């Protein structure tokens, strides 16, 4: 980015910059307040943001950290398809194409609106949100056993959903017919559009007040400022090449383990992430796309470089991704991608693993590394209405060089999302939450121990039973420790039948039938430990014991503390 | 040059010659659409198999004339026009609009693969008629290639639903929708090709209607249409007078759906009076979990075919013919499934509805109705590739089988089932050129079954040897019991699919197979049943048994065992 000669006085520029950020935040809040889906308004599984007229990200409000920077690519795909000349005031473009601007899976639907001021394109507003349903072979749309994108729901290939501020009636009818929960999905569609229009209104007001030239200049200032911060952060990082390897459990279709590898090279100018040795795309839905991989890297880069800095395109200037097309993280059409996050998390985690030993002040040991996403379907016990409960599940984060890991937190790419409160779950979905507790199973021991995973159990109450689809990565390959710290715990799910018989723990299920009285247990493991457990002070081991976070046996066998 | 009539003039009397010409020209509009669509389609299932139909209706959605490939589509098209009128009204439509639907529970009426498009036909600013056509698209997305499958449990798994929406506005395709279709189907070139071919046939109708209205005037056209209806009704009424009156009943069942539902009982009570032909399916079992569900529109279309076959086989279908027909069936049965029931192999059940009516009336109408037929479309979706380009290619086709014997003749061999009508088989040459397969056998299946004084027609075996990897999904209904016989004839034989693996694994043999993986060298045998026989086989004349033997249609063992013919060996042309 070349240095810009700014005409604005720094006070006005600062006011405008903060104003732009406020627009991003206001869009975020408007979305939560108008959405019809608990996964949006409770879990915050969406992101909103602004870019300049060239798709440079200016500001982004996130629920999901994995969406950081992904909006850039959505806007880029809109410009690629329509060009500036092909866009007009009142247009809203829609995409969920995983291989281009959508970048994740079909459930994440992104709406992009060009913002004009006096006929000139000045910015784009974008909103990407997880729709509970987009159709496909499985209720809730994502599943662990799809083998083509056609099975994963309706694809919106970067199309104009609104023209002249009017929704295309055919499209609304089409969505209504093709999704299993039309009121929710259409409601979210309109909520997204409303948040974009709000941004358009605010940007318009700012342009009226300061003039569009001032706004554009403040945007450039914002980006340049971001890049300055990124360069400063890069200067502080150790230089060299750092390598990490790991294994993905399987693709859900076969049991084959999938080895993965990264080589990170940090120079004075660039942060180069080389995934050239990644394996080819697989048959099952864990494939990630280039766009998804890019946003995963943006997420981990933000954590490494400057977690406090506001997110914009400038921050990402030093970042360079090297990877051929057709790998498991750059899958090509029609590869299934509906549980892409399992692999996106690995690309993020690999960079983390490569750098944790050399950037210990910023990076912890490995965390449970799965969204823990589940789709539980049942009929509400009171109303007998069909319900689809889609939610992420929490687990343990890794220990740091100077403290224990966080217990019961969402995974790295989920970021600021929330768990679904027990009360909301029971009231909205008509099942019973039998247990919501820390998981004291072994794993993550160390001088500093990994945070505790979580157990969440649902009892099915409907006479008509239900079904569950769930994907828990790191079921076979627990997360990594550092410097002699132990590996974390395993993630798994199991069904305990009404007669008390507990089923085999597993990492992936697809539409597993549940009967009335069955208890579904979703169990996430502890994060990795840091340092030799023998070095952990006795009083901290005893405190863990008292808090029920470890067993007496672990205290004795791993920490050497008799009680 | 003769002066043309004022197109808007109100005229009350027309000479019968002009009227007859106008009526024929209206019928020709449907025929011309049919030819235009066939010539421009990119899919063999359209241009070879003719799995489509075209029609025109009046402005009130009443059928004026229809051109069919698939008899099952006969009378099905008007329901889509009803939907268009209900949703948009005459005021909500513009010249050049093309509305599409494939919703099974409404005007689409069969399964998602069958897409109906409707265009309002204007003259002098007013809607005078509708052009409508319906075609089977090879691919419309969903969980399985080819969109039809046996193990879907809801409609959302079966492909993209087009809920009566304008795909074209004022002659222009709506870009966003075309892009969605392109993204959501596995063979976008062929699917969009089918769409454009279908849409291209509609403006032909507009052009011809314009010419017709200019030539003779709107009033003459309107009069001709009402004449067509009246004549249809008159002929249907006259035909009804010739068939026995009374109440006729039959029961049967729909086979297991492959997903744990069934067999499902079906019941019919037919009441024929001078005024009315009432078919009542009350008592039929509930909709199934699997994809064999039929919907009300498909049932109505099926009953229109039956009524045509029974009452008025010589009249061309139009709204007037159907005025005497009444169909009663509660909602939510396997014949009238409700959203979101899967329907991708709906024909299996719709055929049973037709067949149970046939059974109820066969004895009363021996001059019109034969014994039972093999009764399934016997359709498969084979995933293979194009032998040259290597691109994904889906071999989708119906299979012909044996029809039942009549009271005075043997059954027809190797004919499509009653819901298919005038469709054609995919020629072996086309199959081998377009798909990476070898047709190893295409011949009559000569096994015991269907014997009688008049014997049932023979089913067929069609066998594909795979030249590369692929998979097969197929639904061959009536795989448990064969076609029913009359008056002491023998039952026909069941339909089935058999996959013989090159690596020596035990073969798979069933009525329904779902995504069976295939390797190079594997053999897929598609075998259809023989129709039911009529009358005691012992009464079959010796010379006819010997002729069957010579033609290779029965074995010499059966000639002795079933037909009681001794000393057949050594007869002219009969090998020992």
Give the Cα separation of B310 and A83 in Å (integer).
61
Give the Cα separation of A553 and A562 in Å (integer).
9
Q: What percent of chain B has pLDDT over 90?
A: 71
Q: Which of A373, A528, A506 is nearest to A442 (CA)?
A: A528
| Average pLDDT of span B73-87 | 91
Opening angle at CA A323, ends A321 and A328, nearest 5: 120
A43 contacts A94 by C-beta, under 8 angstroms: no
Query: What is the total residue count of chain B?
Result: 576
- Residues within 8 A of B (CB atoms), A 176-195 only: 176-180
- Please enumerate in sequence order all residues whose Cβ is within 8 A of that of B555, keeping only pairs 6 or more positions apart, or say none: B446, B448, B549
Interface with B, mutate which of A135, A377, A465, A469 (most B CBs under 10 A): A135
Pairwise CB contact (< 8 Å): B167 & A170: yes
DSSP sequence for B140-178? --SSSTTS--SS--SGGGS----EEEEEEETTEE-HHHH
DSSP sequence for A234-272? HHHSPPEEEEEEEEE---SSS---EEEEEEEEE-SS-EE
Query: What is the total residue count of chain A?
Result: 563
pLDDT of residue B421: 64
Q: Is the minimum CB–CB distance between B65 and chain A shorter than 8 Å?
A: no
Token digits for B452? 């009688």
Higher per-residue confidence, B315 vs B537: B537
Give every residue of chain A whose pLDDT is below 70, as ranges.
1-6
Residues of chain B found within 8 Å of residue A159, distances taken between Cβ atoms: 175-176, 179-180
Pairwise CB contact (< 8 Å): A137 & B164: no
Q: How far is CA B344 from CA A145, B348, B474, in A?
A: 21, 10, 11
Residue of A nearest to B185 (CA): A150
pLDDT of residue B230: 93
**Which residues in B398-532 belong to E strands, given as ranges?**
437-444, 460-466, 470-475, 496-500, 508-510, 512-518, 523-527
Could you tell me which residues are beta bridge partners of residue B246? B272
Residues of chain B found within 8 Å of residue A160, distances taken between Cβ atoms: 175-176
Q: Is the minimum CB–CB distance between B340 and chain A shorter than 8 Å?
A: yes
B271: left (phi over 0), alpha (psi -120 to 50) or beta: beta
Token digits for A303? 């954590």
Distance (Å) from the alpha carbon of B143 to chain A's nearest alpha carbon: 4
Interface with A, mutate which of B117, B141, B181 (most A CBs under 10 A): B141
Pairwise CB contact (< 8 Å): A137 & B185: no
Chain A, chain B: beta-carbon pairs less than 8 Å apart: 76
Q: Kindly tell me if the per-residue pLDDT of B574 is higher than 70.
A: no
Pairwise CB contact (< 8 Å): B183 & A155: yes
A384: left (phi over 0), alpha (psi -120 to 50) or beta: left
Q: Express each pLDDT in B344-356 by its tens digit.
A: 999 999 999 999 9
Give the Cα separation of B391 and B436 in Å (integer).
10
Q: Is the minimum CB–CB distance between A161 and chain B shorter than 8 Å?
A: yes
Token digits for B110? 């069969």
* A135: nearest CB among B156, B163, B177: B156
Q: Is the minimum CB–CB distance between A171 and chain B shorter than 8 Å?
A: yes
Give the Cα separation of B346 and B337 in Å (integer).
10
Q: What percent of chain B has pLDDT over 70?
A: 95
Token digits for B164? 């009566």
pLDDT of residue B4: 56
Q: Which of A319, A400, A415, A308 is nearest to A356 (CA)?
A: A400
Which range, B51-55, B415-419, B534-538, has the best average confidence (pLDDT)? B534-538
Q: Which of A45, A43, A95, A51 is nearest to A69 (CA)?
A: A51
Interface with B, mutate which of A81, A102, A137 (most B CBs under 10 A): A137
Determine how β-strand B277-280 pairs with β-strand B325-328: parallel
Residues of chain A found within 8 Å of residue B103, distances taken between Cβ atoms: 177
Owner of token pair 């400057």: A306
* A170: nearest CB among B154, B165, B182: B165
pLDDT of residue B1: 41
pLDDT of residue B5: 55
- Residues within 8 A of A (CB atoms), B 146-175 only: 154, 156-157, 160-167, 174-175
Give the Cα separation of B228 and B79 in Å (integer).
19
Q: Which of B320, B524, B347 is nearest to B420 (CA)?
A: B347
Alpha carbons within 13 angstroms on the beta-carbon side of residue A253 total 13
Q: Is the minimum CB–CB distance between A102 and chain B shorter than 8 Å?
A: no
Opening angle at CA B324, ends B318 and B326, nearest 5: 105
Residue of B nearest to A106 (CA): B184
Q: Express each pLDDT in B157-197 by its tens digit.
A: 999 999 999 999 999 999 999 999 999 999 999 899 989 99
Distance (Å) from the alpha carbon of A177 to chain B's nearest alpha carbon: 6
Q: Which helix (H) or strand (E) holds B347?
A: helix B347-362
What's the distance, CA A328 to chain centroid?
Answer: 17
Owner of token pair 């969605």: B180
Give the Cα separation of A317 and A75 in Å (integer).
18
Pairwise CB contact (< 8 Å): A171 & B176: yes
Token digits for B44? 């063999």
Burial readout B490-518 (b: 16 or more C-beta within 10 A, e: otherwise): bbbbbbbbbbbbeeeeeeeebbbbbbbeb
Q: Express each pLDDT in B1-41 by its tens digit.
A: 444 555 555 555 678 898 999 999 999 999 999 999 988 88
Give the Cα separation of B373 and B446 in Å (integer).
16
pLDDT of residue B254: 95
**Which residues in B378-475 belong to E strands, given as ranges?**
379-385, 392-397, 437-444, 460-466, 470-475
pLDDT of residue B557: 87
| Average pLDDT of span B138-150 | 90
Pairwise CB contact (< 8 Å): A178 & B161: yes
Give the Cα separation of A31 and A48 in Å (integer).
9
Residues of chain A found within 8 Å of residue B167, distances taken between Cβ atoms: 170
Residues of chain B found within 8 Å of residue A157, distances taken between Cβ atoms: 179-180, 182-183
Burial readout B528-558 (b: 16 or more C-beta within 10 A, e: otherwise): bbbbbbbbbbeebeeeebbebbeeebbebeb
Pairwise CB contact (< 8 Å): A136 & B143: yes
Q: Express each pLDDT in B474-528 by its tens digit.
A: 999 999 999 999 999 999 999 999 999 999 999 999 999 998 999 999 999 999 9
pLDDT of residue B384: 94
Distance (Å) from the alpha carbon of A150 to chain B's nearest alpha carbon: 6
Distance (Å) from the alpha carbon of A154 to chain B's nearest alpha carbon: 7
Q: Is the minimum CB–CB distance between A82 and chain B shorter than 8 Å?
A: no
Residue of B nearest to A92 (CA): B176
Residues of chain A found within 8 Å of residue B174, distances taken between Cβ atoms: 168, 170
B142: left (phi over 0), alpha (psi -120 to 50) or beta: left
Give the Cα separation of B319 and B326 in Å (integer).
13
Opening angle at CA A457, ends A456 and A458, nearest 5: 130
Give the Cα separation of A327 and A260 in Å (integer).
11
Phi and psi of A160, rounded to 5°?
A: -80, 110
Q: Express each pLDDT in B425-481 by its tens digit.
A: 889 999 999 999 999 999 999 899 999 999 999 999 999 999 999 999 999 999 999
Token digits for A93? 């473009």
Cis peptide before B178 (omega within 30 of 0): no
SS3 A59: strand
Distance (Å) from the alpha carbon of B210 to chain A's nearest alpha carbon: 29
B273 contacts B377 by C-beta, under 8 angstroms: no
Opening angle at CA B511, ends B509 and B516, nearest 5: 60
Give the Cα separation of A352 and A356 in Å (integer).
6
Q: Is the minimum CB–CB distance between A113 and chain B shorter than 8 Å?
A: no
A51 contacts A72 by C-beta, under 8 angstroms: yes
Q: Which of B525, B480, B523, B483 is nearest to B501 (CA)?
A: B523
The distance in angstroms from the start CA to the end CA of chain A is: 62
Residues of chain A found within 8 Å of residue B184, distances taken between Cβ atoms: 150, 154-155
Q: Kindly tell me if the per-residue pLDDT of B78 is higher than 90.
A: yes
pLDDT of residue B422: 65
Pairwise CB contact (< 8 Å): A159 & B175: yes
Opening angle at CA B245, ends B297 and B407, nearest 5: 85
Q: Is the minimum CB–CB distance between A285 and chain B shorter than 8 Å?
A: no
A101 contacts A74 by C-beta, under 8 angstroms: yes
């Amino acid at each position: 980015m070349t240095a810009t000669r700014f005409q604005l006085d720094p006070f006005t520029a600062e006011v405008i910059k903060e104003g732009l950020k406020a627009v991003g935040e206001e869009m975020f809040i408007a979305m939560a307040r108008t959405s019809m889906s608990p996964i949006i308004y409770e879990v915050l599984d969406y992101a909103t943001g602004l870019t300049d007229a060239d798709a440079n990200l200016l500001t982004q409000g996130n629920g999901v950290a994995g969406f950081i920077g992904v909006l850039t690519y959505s806007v880029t795909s809109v410009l690629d398809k329509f060009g500036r000349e092909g866009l007009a005031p009142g247009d809203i473009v829609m995409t969920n194409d995983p291989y281009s601007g959508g970048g994740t899976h079909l459930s994440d639907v992104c709406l992009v609106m060009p913002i004009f001021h006096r006929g000139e394109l000045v910015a784009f507003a974008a909103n990407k949100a997880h729709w509970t349903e987009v159709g496909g072979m499985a209720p809730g749309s994502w599943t662990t056993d799809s083998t083509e994108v056609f099975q994963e729901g309706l694809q919106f290939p970067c199309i104009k959903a609104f023209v002249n501020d009017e929704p295309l009636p055919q499209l609304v009818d089409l969505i209504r017919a093709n999704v299993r929960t039309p009121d929710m999905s259409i409601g979210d569609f309109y909520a997204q559009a409303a948040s974009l229009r709000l941004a358009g209104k605010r940007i318009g007001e700012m342009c009226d007040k300061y003039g569009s030239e001032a706004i554009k200049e403040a945007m450039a200032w914002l980006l340049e400022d971001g890049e300055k911060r990124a360069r400063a952060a890069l200067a502080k990082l150790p230089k060299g090449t750092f390598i990490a390897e790991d294994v993905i459990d399987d693709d859900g279709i076969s049991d084959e383990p999938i080895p993965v590898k990264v080589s990170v090279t940090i120079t004075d100018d660039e942060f180069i992430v080389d995934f050239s040795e990644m394996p080819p795309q697989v048959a099952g839905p864990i494939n990630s796309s280039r766009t998804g991989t890019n946003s995963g890297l943006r997420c981990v880069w933000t954590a490494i470089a400057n977690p406090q800095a506001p997110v914009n395109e400038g921050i990402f200037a030093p970042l360079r991704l090297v990877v051929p097309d057709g790998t498991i993280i750059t899958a090509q059409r029609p590869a299934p991608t509906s549980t892409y996050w399992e692999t996106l998390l690995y690309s993020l985690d690999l960079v983390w693993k490569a750098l944790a030993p050399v950037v210990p002040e910023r990076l912890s040991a490995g965390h449970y590394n799965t969204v823990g996403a589940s789709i539980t379907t049942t009929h509400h016990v009171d109303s007998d209405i069909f319900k689809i409960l889609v939610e992420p599940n929490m687990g343990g984060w890794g220990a740091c060089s100077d403290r224990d890991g966080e217990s019961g937190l969402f995974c790295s790419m989920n970021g600021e999302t929330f768990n679904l409160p027990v009360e909301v779950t029971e009231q909205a979905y008509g099942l019973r939450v039998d247990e919501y507790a820390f998981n004291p199973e072994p794993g993550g021991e160390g001088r500093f121990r990994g945070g505790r995973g979580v157990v969440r159990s649902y009892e099915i109450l409907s006479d008509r039973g239900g079904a569950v689809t769930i994907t828990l990565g790191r079921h076979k390959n627990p997360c990594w420790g550092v410097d002699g710290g132990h590996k974390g715990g395993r993630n798994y799910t199991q069904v305990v039948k009404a007669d008390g018989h507990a089923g085999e723990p597993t990492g992936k299920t697809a539409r597993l039938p549940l009967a009335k009285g069955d208890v579904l247990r979703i169990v996430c493991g502890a994060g990795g430990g840091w340092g030799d457990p023998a070095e952990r002070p006795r009083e901290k081991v005893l405190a863990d014991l008292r808090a029920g976070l470890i067993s007496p046996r672990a205290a004795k066998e791993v920490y050497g503390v008799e009680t | 040059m003769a002066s043309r009539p004022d197109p808007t003039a109100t005229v009350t009397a027309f000479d019968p010659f002009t009227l007859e010409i106008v009526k024929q020209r209206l019928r020709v509009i449907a025929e011309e659409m049919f030819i235009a669509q066939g010539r421009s389609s990119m899919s063999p299932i359209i241009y070879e198999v003719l799995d489509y139909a075209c029609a025109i209706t009046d402005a009130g959605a009443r059928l004026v004339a229809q051109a069919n490939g698939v008899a099952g589509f006969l009378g099905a098209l008007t329901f889509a026009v009803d939907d268009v009128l209900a949703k948009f009204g005459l005021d909500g439509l513009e010249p050049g609009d093309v509305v599409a639907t494939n919703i099974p529970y409404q005007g689409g009426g069969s399964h998602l693969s069958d897409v109906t498009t409707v265009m309002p036909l204007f003259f002098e600013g007013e809607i005078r008629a509708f052009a409508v056509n319906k075609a089977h698209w090879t691919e419309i997305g969903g969980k399985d290639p080819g969109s039809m499958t046996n193990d879907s449990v809801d409609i959302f798994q079966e492909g993209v639903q087009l809920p009566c929406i304008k795909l074209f506005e004022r002659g222009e395709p709506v870009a966003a929708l075309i892009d969605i279709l392109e993204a959501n189907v596995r063979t976008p070139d062929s699917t969009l090709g089918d769409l454009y071919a279908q849409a291209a046939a509609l403006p032909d109708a507009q052009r011809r209607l314009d010419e017709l209205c200019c030539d003779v005037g709107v009033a003459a056209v309107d009069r001709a249409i009402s004449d067509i209806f009246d004549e249809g009704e008159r002929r249907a009424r006259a035909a009804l007078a010739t068939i026995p009156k009374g109440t006729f009943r039959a029961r049967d069942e729909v086979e297991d759906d492959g997903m744990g539902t069934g067999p499902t009982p079906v019941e019919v009570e037919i009441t024929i009076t001078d005024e009315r032909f009432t078919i009542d399916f009350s008592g039929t079992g509930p909709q199934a979990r699997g994809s064999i569900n039929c919907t009300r529109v498909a049932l109505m279309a099926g009953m229109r075919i039956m009524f045509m076959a029974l009452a008025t086989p010589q009249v061309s279908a139009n709204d007037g013919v159907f005025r005497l027909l009444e169909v009663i069936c509660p909602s939510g049965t396997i014949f009238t499934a409700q959203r979101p029931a899967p329907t991708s192999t709906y024909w299996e059940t719709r055929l049973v509805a037709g067949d149970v009516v046939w059974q109820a009336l066969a004895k009363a109408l021996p001059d019109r109705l034969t014994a039972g037929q093999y009764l399934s479309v016997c359709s498969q979706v084979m995933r293979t590739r194009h032998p040259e380009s290597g691109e994904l290619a889906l071999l989708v086709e119906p299979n012909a089988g044996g029809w039942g014997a009549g009271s005075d003749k043997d059954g027809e061999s190797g004919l499509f089932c009653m819901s298919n009508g005038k469709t054609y088989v995919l020629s072996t040459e086309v199959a081998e050129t377009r798909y990476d397969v070898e047709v190893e056998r295409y011949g009559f299946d000569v096994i015991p079954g269907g014997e009688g004084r008049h014997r049932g027609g023979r089913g067929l075996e069609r066998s594909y040897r795979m030249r590369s990897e692929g998979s097969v999904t197929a639904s061959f209904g009536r795989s448990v019991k064969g076609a029913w016989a009359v008056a002491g004839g023998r039952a026909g034989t069941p339909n089935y699919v058999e996959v013989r693996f090159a690596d020596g694994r035990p073969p798979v043999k069933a009525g329904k197979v779902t995504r069976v993986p295939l390797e190079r060298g594997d053999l897929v045998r598609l075998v259809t049943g023989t129709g039911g026989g009529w009358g005691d086989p012992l009464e079959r004349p010796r010379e006819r048994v010997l002729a069957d033997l010579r033609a290779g249609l029965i074995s010499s063992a059966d000639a002795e065992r079933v037909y009681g013919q001794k000393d057949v060996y050594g007869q002219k042309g009969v090998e020992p």
